[in-house]
Structure formats: C-alpha cells, structure tokens
Amino acid sequence: PSEFYGGVESGMNDFAWCLLPCTLNLCSFSVSDPKDPIAIERLNLMNMAKLSIKGLIESALNLGRSLDSDYAPLQQFFVVMEHCLKHGLKAKKTFLGQNKSFWGPLELVEKLCPEAGEITVSVKDLPGLKTPVGRGRAWLRLALMQKKLSDYMKALINRKDLMSEFYEANALMMEEEGAVIAGLLVGLNVIDVNLCMKGEDLDTQVGVIDFSLYLKDGGHSSKSNEGDGQITAILDQKNYVEELNRHLSATVNNLQAKVDALEKSNTKLTEELAVANNRIITLQEETERIKQDNVYYLESTRKKMEVCADDMYNEARKQLKEETQLRLDVEKELELQIGMKQEMELAMKMLEKDICEKQDVLVTLRHQLDDVRSLKHDLSQKVQGSDSVVRQKNEIIARLEEKTNQMGSTIKQLEQRLRQVGENWHSAEDANRHFKQEFGDKIESLQLQVEQLTKERSAEEIKVEMVSKTVSCVLFKCGFIIGDCINATICLLLPCVSQESDQSLESSENTAVNIVCNLCQDEASVTKPKNRCHNCQEMFCNTCSANELPLPSSIKPERVCNPCHTLLLEQYSTTPP
C-alpha cells in the first residue's frame, strides 16, 4: 500500500511492563580486553541503545504514550537501531562494489515468525523504496507499530546459526549485547506509535546519532523528580515481574499439556502394540493349521487323481467316437446343402432370365406409350399414383389373375386402337391445314399454344422417363409382382387410350375441346383454364381448385379441389400421430 498507518491504542490502565530505566547502570558491562576496538564499539552501541530507549519511554509517558514520525527521540531510536544492526555486518560483493545491508537478516524473520510475513509484504509493496536500506528502515518502523520488535529480535538472536551467514563472529547481534538490546526493546510495547510512510524518503536518509539529546545538567533535576522516577521504576519492575510470571505460567501449561498428550499417545501405542502381538501369534497359529490342511488336501487330491485317470481315459475314448460319428453326419449334411445351393443358383438364373424378358416387354410398351402424344398428361398422373397402386398390389393381383386370360386379345385391341389414333391424327392434321387456310388470323395464337404444349410435353416426357427408370428398378427387385403391377397399369390405361382417341376425333371436327368444371359447370377457355385434382382426378376451374396439400403419392404439395381439401383436412386431423 502507498500509505500505511499503524498504532494500537492502549490506555494508561493497560500499562504492561517495561524496562528499569532508573535503575540501569550504563557501566554494568565491562570490556574483557580494553584494547579490543570491536568490544568497545559493542559496549558503546549498547549504552546508546539504553539511553535512546530510556529517553523514548520517559518522553512517551510524559506525552501520553502516543508518538508520531516527527518526534526527535523516536527518529534517534531508529538511527541507533540501524547502527546496531549494521555492526559486524558482512559485505556482499556486487558489480558496483561491496554493499552492506541489514535487510537480509530482517527478511529472515518471516521464516522464524510467520506473523512477520505481513510486515515483509507491506514493505515490498511500499512505493518509492528502491534500496535494501530503505526497506530495512521501513521494516523497523512497521515492527515497532505492531509492538513485535522485541519478539522479532529475540527470534533472530536465538538462531545464531542463521545469523552467521550475515554477521561476523564478534558482531553485536552475535554477542551478549544483542540479547540485552532485545530485552530492552520489550519496554517499547507500552508506547503507541503512529507513523505515516507516505512521502518519507527512507532510501536517502543519513543516520547520524545526535548525542545532544542525551546530555543533561546534573543539578537541574529536583528531589521530587527523583522520587517520582524511583516510584515509576518500582512500578515498572512490578509490572515486568508480573508479565514474566504470566509468560512462564503459560509456558508451563503448554508443556504440561504436551506431556499429557505424550502420555496418552504412549499408552495408546502400548495397547496397540499388545494387540498387534496377539494378532501376530494368532496369525502364526492359523498359518501352521493351514499348512497342515494343505498337506492333507494334497495327499487326498493325488489319490483321487490316480483313481479318476482311468475313468477319464475311457470317457475320452467314447467321446472321440461320438465326435467322429458326428463329423461324418455333418459332412453328409454339408453335401446335401451344397446340392440345394446349386439348385437355388439355377433357379435364380432362370428367375433373372424371366426378369430380363419382362424388361423387354416393358421397353416395348414404353415405346408404344411414347407414340401416343395426347396421353402424356394422364400417363404422368398415373405414374405418380403408382405408389398407391403398389400399396394396393394385393387387390390388383387378385383382379389381374382373372384378366390374365384376356391379356392377349386386349393387347391386339390396343394395337388396333393405336393405329386408329394414328389415322385420326393424320386426319386431324389435314383438318388443321384446312382450318389454317380458312382462319389465318387465329393460326398465330394457336401456334403459340402449340409451342407451349410442346414444351410442357417435353417436360412431361422427362418426368415420364425418370419415373420409368424408378419403376424399372422396382421391377428388377420385385420380380413377378412388379410384372403383374405393370400389366395392371396397362389395363388401367386402356380406357384412357380409347377416351383420348375419341377426343382426338372430336378435336379434328371441332378443333377445340370444351371442358366443364365439375362444381361450378363453367366451361374452359384461354382465359379460364381448368386444372386436374390430384386426389379424385376430376377437372376444376382455378377458383374451385386453389388449394394444395401433401398426398401419400407425392412428397411435394399437389393441387386438389375444394371438396377433397376439406375431406383430407378432416382425415389428417382425426389420424393419430
């Protein structure tokens, strides 16, 4: 975060425990070797830390135990702590030279105290911190606001094996002075510190100790102040002892709980061990019993196998004889099946030959139907209705069996009819030529109609060829049944041929056919053509046959008359899905 405010409010009634500021003897530690400069440095830093902490606590008590970042003793405390952490620090070699930074040991606290992870994350997220020194200074301020600085220092000092990576052997943090400073920091837990990290340049600050803050006039203090200081020291000692006692009691309780848990675990493990031993003994006995049973079963099985070997041999010999006889029977049956198969193949060849003959007859009939031009329209409708004829093939076959004997004479009559139709067609052409000579004005319009009819005829011929191909495929698959269906179709077309021949004769005489609608009795004309209903096969005008419905004989919707439309709708509505 860009801005971090900390500080836990603790009132005067929550006064915990602190140092003994008035009873400390700054010269209680003596230097073993007066000529050792490192030892003198450690002693001086420890004394400065004592003075700084003492002055900070006294000023905090006078100001109400709440300090901010602008307070001079607080700034000097951070400077002294920085010097203590830098004492005896090993230099790391980099590309820019040697660098000494106390951020490494402070970053190690996160592994020793998990609650310090929040401080480390906050320091890394602070904007404007570019150097390890700045991050270390920010870490000290956040730890003081969290009131955990003494705990973190104790955790570091207790792990000298890890500290040896960062400090020399005679550094302050590796000697007794470091432990003393960690104990002195406990007194700062009674102070509430509120520090704003925003806008504070921690990277470039110069840490210089101001000794003027610790130089005082000896005669300036009065006896009353000395008495108050002694009382405060006694109260601080009392609070310190009480807090220490509480810590020790909590430690004893934790150790006692661990001892009880270990005793319970030991008892449980002993019981489990006894149960396991009993189980092992039981399993050993069961193993011995199973071994004995196994030996007995092996002996009995061996004897049974010897007895049953002869029986199995005799039974196998009998089974071999039965299998041999069965194989001979199967071979005979296979020969019979092969003969039947050859007979079936011969019958299939004869059937194919008969089908080819039927196909030749069908081709002949198709050529005859192509010669009759006036039957194109009716023939296409009859072919479209071939699906319904196939569905009714059983009834048609029954009727065709009765008419089979009359088929020869009927074909001859059909040929005579076709010859008559040809003669009538020639006579119609002669009449047409006479008609053209008599009526020259109407010839052009009639020629246009003839061309249109010719186009329709060609389209109908294409449809007839497609349907004929489909019928040929069905005939090839169905055999005799399709041949009978073709004969039935020819029988159905005979009346149409006769009717069409009569109509051609009438057209030669009158040169026009008057078709009447079966509903409104309106005659057909050029402007009023008539349509055929695909359901009842009757002729109707456009008004009486304006509807279309899908029929069983076709996929696409076909034109139907109004009565058939109503009837089909009723059938579709009553038919279950």
Q: Residue 524 belongs to a domain with what CATH number?
A: 3.30.40.10
β-strand pairing of 530-532 with 539-541: antiparallel
In a domain, 5, yes or no: no
Give every residue of the chain whose pLDDT is below 50, as ranges: 1-30, 217-224, 480, 497, 501, 504-513, 577
CATH of the domain at 178: 1.20.58.900
Q: Which of 496, 513, 530 corresponds to the end of one domain?
A: 513
Note whether 106 and 159 are same-domain residues: yes
Note whether 543 and 561 are same-domain residues: yes
Neighbour count for residue 20 (Cβ, 10 Å): 16
In a domain, 359, yes or no: no
Neighbour count for residue 129 (Cβ, 10 Å): 20
In a domain, 135, yes or no: yes
Beta-bridge partner residues of 98: 93
Note whether 202 and 235 are same-domain residues: no
Note whether 185 and 306 are same-domain residues: no
Supply the DSSP symbol for 511. Answer: S
Note whether 184 and 90 are same-domain residues: yes
Q: How many domains does the chain have?
A: 4
CA 555/CA 533 separation, integer angstroms: 16
Closest to 495 in 3D by CA, of 408, 382, 399, 392: 382
Closest to 151 in 3D by CA, of 107, 193, 109: 109
In a domain, 344, yes or no: yes
CA 422/CA 500 separation, integer angstroms: 12
User: What is the structure's pLDDT at 482?
Assistant: 52
User: What is the structure's pLDDT at 209?
Assistant: 72
Q: Which of 314, 348, 382 corresponds to the end of one domain?
A: 348
Note whether 248 and 332 are same-domain residues: yes
Q: Which two tokens stand for residue 226?
A: 């000395």
Q: Render pLDDT for 302-348 as a digit per residue (tens, 0 to 9).
A: 888 777 877 787 888 888 888 888 889 888 888 998 988 888 888 88
In a domain, 573, yes or no: yes
Containing structural domain, residue 496:
372-513
- Contact (Cβ atoms closer than 8 angstroms) between residue 117 and residue 110: yes
In a domain, 356, yes or no: no
User: What is the structure's pLDDT at 280?
Assistant: 92
- Contact (Cβ atoms closer than 8 angstroms) between residue 10 and residue 45: no
Cα dihedral: 442, 445, 448, 449 (round 10): -90
User: What is the structure's pLDDT at 357?
Assistant: 87
Note whether 421 and 341 are same-domain residues: no
CA 420/CA 413 separation, integer angstroms: 10
Note whether 519 and 509 are same-domain residues: no
User: What is the structure's pLDDT at 281?
Assistant: 92
Note whether 340 and 442 are same-domain residues: no
In a domain, 366, yes or no: no
Q: Is the dihedral of CA 309, 312, 316, 317 positive or negative?
A: positive
Q: Which of 299, 314, 348 corresponds to the end of one domain?
A: 348
CA 341/CA 336 separation, integer angstroms: 9
Note whether 332 and 384 are same-domain residues: no
In a domain, 6, yes or no: no
Note whether 385 and 489 are same-domain residues: yes
Closest to 379 in 3D by CA, of 485, 489, 488: 489
Note whether 146 and 161 are same-domain residues: yes
